[in-house]
Structure 1
Amino acid sequence: MLALCLALALLAKRLHLPFAVALVLGGMTVAFVPGLRRIEFEPELALALFLPPLLQLSAYRTDWPAFRTNLRPILLLALGAVLFTAIAVALIAKLLIPDLPWGAVIALGAIVAPPDAVAATAVLRSLRPPKWITTVLEGESLLNDAAALVLYRFAVGATLAGSFDLGQSALTFVLSALGGGMTGYVVGRLAMLIFARLDETVHDIALSVLASYAAYFAAEAVHASGVLGVVACGFVLRGQHHVFTAQTRLASESVWAFLEFVLTSLVFMLIGMQLRGIVGRLGHYHPWHLTILAASVSLTLILGRFLWIMPVTWIPRLLSPALKARDPAPPANHLIAISWAGMRGVVSLAAALALPVRFPGRDIIIFLAFCAILATLVLQGTTLGPLTRLLGVTEPDTDGVDQSRMAMRRHVSEAALASMQDHLDDPERGEIAKDLIAEYQDRTDQAAQLEDGSPTEAERRTRELQLRLSAVEASRARIAGSQNDFDEDAALGLTTELDLEEEQIRRELGER
């Protein structure tokens, strides 16, 4: 399966397709290969295995200050849009499949309601969208999973129990959210205490992965939201990111990227490999009936997002001039891009797989969830890039260096310069500090010039960085050509230094 995922990744890159689209289509192909052994996946493992690391990774990636600044639109999407979409899908499903109980159609709505920002941001990142669009999409994805999964658990529990109490469910929702957040915070703080006693990079990374599962299971054990537990734990670890060693921070990026690739790929492949059995068990449905069901649910998802975003953006500002003055409505082209970036993904798949085996309508629910994911990923995922370019939802290209990055570089350069100046009176290191001050002063001055936006300075810095890359490549080639003349450990150590230098250069050039 992993070999196929790698092949699909290469194919998607060559065809300029989003990777998730290639996985869905590949999973469908695998599902109908004759003679392939059927893989049965335990429903209880679906959420617990796949979600914790992926949710914690989303928390790592979230820009917390930007998240707080855009909290209002994030909550309108993460809570309001999820509830609106779930109800709309449930009504359509109940209309077309009257035999399904209300709990089952609400569970279907909760499964397909939360969009997956990973697919959307993967497409948008290469197009340089405005920062607030990426922030809103990623923030929505971080919270909408929790909202949808809490609704999902209520629907499943009510269906299996045969009753539903709205007041009790609302109270349980609040307690579940609070309990999950508090549990995740405690697990995160405990993890930080353990981190302080570890001094090996591999142990730090192993604990960071373990913390995501610990937060999930601890919250579930007290009947709280495991999803919010993981998110809260992830925020704690992200806030304490500076206490890790440099080696841990560098290595963890690769480890978490690998985990994301493996878990995301496998969940798509697993659902695809079960699709044949699911379709086989739907033989009592006419093919045209299945087509109408799939098309109706998918169309409801796509149109429902527009029907929510546009009114909740414009109507409050029409009714409140104060709100309009304080927080003007985003441009219409931005709203269209956000509305179209509603692809469904891993969370919907995992939730569909997690339905109990004897749940009413389980097969048709999984089938409709898969069709909704397929339709949104293929239709919206392949057209989001061209649409945003057509709408002009992009930031202007920068010439090699980023001014916001330069502002931060000047800020830290000033701190380094002040540190050197503090050592001038040191009898042992004062002379050395005096020699280094000129170097740090040059860094500060250069960052200040680039921050001011001088095109000449930006072009000069870009050419300088490109020359440094050439020097790094020449040095690495010399090491490769002289392996028999020097100690191998020394060559490997120097190669690592050159790799770090190249990474630093490419980040400043905006290539990472």
Structure 2
Amino acid sequence: MHLFELVIAMLLAIIALHFIARKLNLPPAVALLAGGTLLAFIPGLPQIHLDPALVLVIFLPPLLMDGAWFIAFAQLRKHILGVGSLAIGAVIFTTVAVAVVTHWLFPALPWAACAVLGAIVAPPDAVSARAVLQQVHLPKRPATLLEGESLLNDATGLVLFRFAVAAGVTGTFSAVDALQSFAVLALGGAAVGAAVAGAWVVLARHLKDEYLIIAASCLTAWAAYLAAEMLHVSGVIATVVAGLICGWYQHVVFSAAVRIRGTSFWTVLIFLMEAMVFMLIGSSLRGVLERVGGIGVVFEQMAIPILLILLALTVARFAWVFGSDLIILVVRRLGWTKSKPLGPKCATVISWAGMRGVVTLAVALSVPETFPGRDFMLVAAFAVILGTVVIQGMTLGKVIQWAGLEESHSDRPRMTMNQAEASMAQAQAVVVEKLAYDDDGKLIHPQLLERYSKRAVLSVEYAADKESFQPRLHAHFDLVLAAVAAGRAELIRLHRAGEIDDHVLHELERDLDLEELSAISAKA
């Protein structure tokens, strides 16, 4: 009962903290971390002990699925080398850099233990990246690089962590075995994800009930992750691949009702899960501090080493991003590649967007109890999460504003949204014109023919001269919204007066809701 009450209190706190963050113009992740930390130290509340394996299983699959489902697949494929450089190369480089600094700070700590800490803090977190990137605007290339990196780098970090722990326990390490294992985990995970997504496509085509389709779609994330883990391959890669395939096919297997209702449900679910992740991270601080002897011990013995480690992983990310960009520039001048360098400003934005989160904490908590330096790893992991989310999360918007990044010509779509809308309207008009007449050539749908023909003409004119038509368009949909509001008021009056029953109320209210949403979308 106490646990249930704590969950309810956490959900109420999430709503309040999001409201406060919006009023203060703060990243919600920062407010949630602070709120979770305060919640942990309230007297009388039970202390939260995180089971790292359970945390990863509950939160990681749906959050990875959400990122993969909605990522721009064409952009991801176009920039896959850059994503791979960040998701694999940057993680390995950062792990080595942190291990070297840690061994310099603590010479008595085995190299394997130093590598474990490096693997814990090296990969930026998908949840933290999403939470911050949703509040800012980036051109397609850097946005794709950061989103793609956050989806795939956990697999690299987890493999490095696994081999570093094994090396610390057994005293042996083989780079060849590590590379082979990574290949097997990645390829096996991709195969499992593709198989689960294929089953989902078949199931979604045959299930007739929209609620069953939505439920099956939500369970796909856990199905891919758990199936891969049972087969001892990468659950992260499996979930990402399943999300990419499902996101590609959902446009043709989902009906309009499934898409609207499913997206609404999924959006709220992801919102709550992302928020709870940051609340749980903050709530775990109390247990971490009690384990190492209190906050006084942390400040006296660990503060300076932790600051140096935080500096090391930040500098390592800058070094990797700028170094890779320099190599691209040199190779491009030699005529060996068509890839364009990011440029100093874009490289700065990507380097600064390295927030850590729940994966870092969960992996740190899974270090064996007797492993050398475990207490320091826990404190360092939490400090890295707090430092990157608060410092980088709160300043990333300013850095992006300073950079003034613009969409490159190669990433711009060939058609604008207005031009695509005009093309779609013309295709609709062709079909309506063909079916507006019966077999004898008699016009049987004159109003529909006039409506779609007029829309096709106006869409082309609007795409050619948006500035002239926009005021009229806004006035048109403002009138539609006013009419919807009047209809809604009359509908409620009829229901309150007992003239109609609840069934009629809900059916007509749904029609008004759809009309209102359509008008708002068209006006925007």
Structure 2 counterparts to residues 376-415 of structure 1, below 5 A: 376-393=388-405, 404-415=416-427
Distance 1:113 1:244, change over 3 A: same
Q: Note the C-alpha offset of 1:230.
A: 0.6
Kindly indicate whether residue 295 of structure 2 is the aligned counterpart of residue 281 of structure 1: no
Q: Distance in 1 between matches of 2:230 and 2:59?
A: 18
Q: Note the C-alpha offset of 1:200.
A: 2.0
Partner of 1:215: 224
Kindly indicate whether residue 516 of structure 2 is the aligned counterpart of residue 502 of structure 1: yes
Q: Secondary structure in 1 aligned to 2:206?
A: coil
Kindly indicate whether residue 238 of structure 2 is the aligned counterpart of residue 224 of structure 1: no
Higher deviation after alignment, 35-44 or 245-254: 35-44
Kindly indicate whether residue 117 of structure 2 is the aligned counterpart of residue 108 of structure 1: yes
Partner of 1:400: none
Question: TM-score under structure 1 normalisation?
Answer: 0.90
Residue number among 95, 101, 118 corresponding to 1:86 in the alignment: 95
Distance 1:381 1:316, change over 3 A: same
Distance 1:38 1:147, change over 3 A: same
Kindly indicate whether residue 70 of structure 2 is the aligned counterpart of residue 58 of structure 1: no
Q: Is the 8 A contact 2:436 2:449 kept in 1?
A: no
Q: Is the 8 A contact 1:112 1:369 kept in 2?
A: yes
Residue number among 234, 249, 267 corresponding to 1:257 in the alignment: 267
Q: Is the 8 A contact 1:424 1:433 kept in 2?
A: yes
Q: Distance in 1 between matches of 2:238 and 2:66?
A: 13
Structure 2 counterparts to residues 445-456 of structure 1, below 5 A: 445-456=457-468
Partner of 1:267: 277
Partner of 1:312: 324
Q: Distance in 1 between matches of 2:191 and 2:122?
A: 26
Q: Note the C-alpha offset of 1:307.
A: 1.3
Residue number among 263, 286, 292 corresponding to 2:304 in the alignment: 292
Q: Distance in 2 between matches of 1:66 and 1:443?
A: 32
Distance 1:362 1:426, change over 3 A: farther
After superposition, the C-alpha distances for 1:192-244 in whole angstroms (9 at most, x for unaligned) are: 22222322222112111211111111111121101001111111211210211
Q: Is the 8 A contact 2:355 2:385 kept in 1?
A: yes
Matching residue's letter, 2:49: E
Distance 1:37 1:312, change over 3 A: same
Q: Is the 8 A contact 2:328 2:341 kept in 1?
A: no
Kindly indicate whether residue 360 of structure 2 is the aligned counterpart of residue 351 of structure 1: no
Q: Secondary structure in 2 aligned to 1:240?
A: helix
Q: Note the C-alpha offset of 1:5.
A: 1.7
Higher deviation after alignment, 473-482 or 305-314: 473-482
Partner of 2:429: 417
Q: Is the 8 A contact 1:472 1:498 kept in 2?
A: yes
Q: Distance in 2 between matches of 1:507 and 1:173?
A: 45
Q: Secondary structure in 1 aligned to 2:207?
A: coil
Unaligned 5+ runs, structure 1: 397-402
Distance 1:133 1:432, change over 3 A: farther
Matching residue's letter, 2:92: L
Q: Distance in 2 between matches of 1:445 and 1:88?
A: 61
Structure 2 counterparts to residues 461-472 of structure 1, below 5 A: 461-472=473-484
Distance 1:414 1:2, change over 3 A: same
Distance 1:79 1:443, change over 3 A: farther
Q: Note the C-alpha offset of 1:257.
A: 1.8
Q: Note the C-alpha offset of 1:190.
A: 1.2
After superposition, the C-alpha distances for 1:252-290 in whole angstroms (9 at most, x for unaligned) are: 222222222222222333333232222122139562331
Q: Is the 8 A contact 1:46 1:354 kept in 2?
A: no
Q: Distance in 2 between matches of 1:40 and 1:430?
A: 74
Structure 2 counterparts to residues 422-501 of structure 1, below 5 A: 422-424=434-436, 426-427=438-439, 431-433=443-445, 435-484=447-496, 485-501=499-515
Q: Secondary structure in 2 aligned to 1:196?
A: helix
Q: Is the 8 A contact 2:94 2:118 kept in 1?
A: yes
Q: Is the 8 A contact 1:47 1:354 kept in 2?
A: no
Q: Note the C-alpha offset of 1:356.
A: 4.3
Q: Is the 8 A contact 2:332 2:340 kept in 1?
A: no
Distance 1:126 1:28, change over 3 A: closer
Matching residue's letter, 1:153: R
Kindly indicate whether residue 258 of structure 2 is the aligned counterpart of residue 244 of structure 1: no
Q: Distance in 2 between matches of 1:319 and 1:424?
A: 60
Distance 1:127 1:218, change over 3 A: closer
Partner of 1:399: none
Q: Is the 8 A contact 1:271 1:353 kept in 2?
A: no
Q: Note the C-alpha offset of 1:369.
A: 1.3
Matching residue's letter, 1:193: V
Q: Distance in 2 between matches of 1:61 and 1:44?
A: 26
Question: TM-score under structure 2 normalisation?
Answer: 0.88
Partner of 1:332: 344
Distance 1:52 1:354, change over 3 A: farther
Q: Distance in 1 between matches of 2:518 and 2:306?
A: 48
Moved over 6 A (4+): none
After superposition, the C-alpha distances for 1:382-405 in whole angstroms (9 at most, x for unaligned) are: 111222223323679xxxxxx732
Q: Secondary structure in 2 aligned to 1:380?
A: helix
Matching residue's letter, 2:157: A
Q: Distance in 1 between matches of 2:234 and 2:37?
A: 32
Q: Distance in 2 between matches of 1:442 and 1:171?
A: 62
Instruction: Please tell me the root mean square deviation across aligned C-alpha atoms, in Å.
Output: 2.7
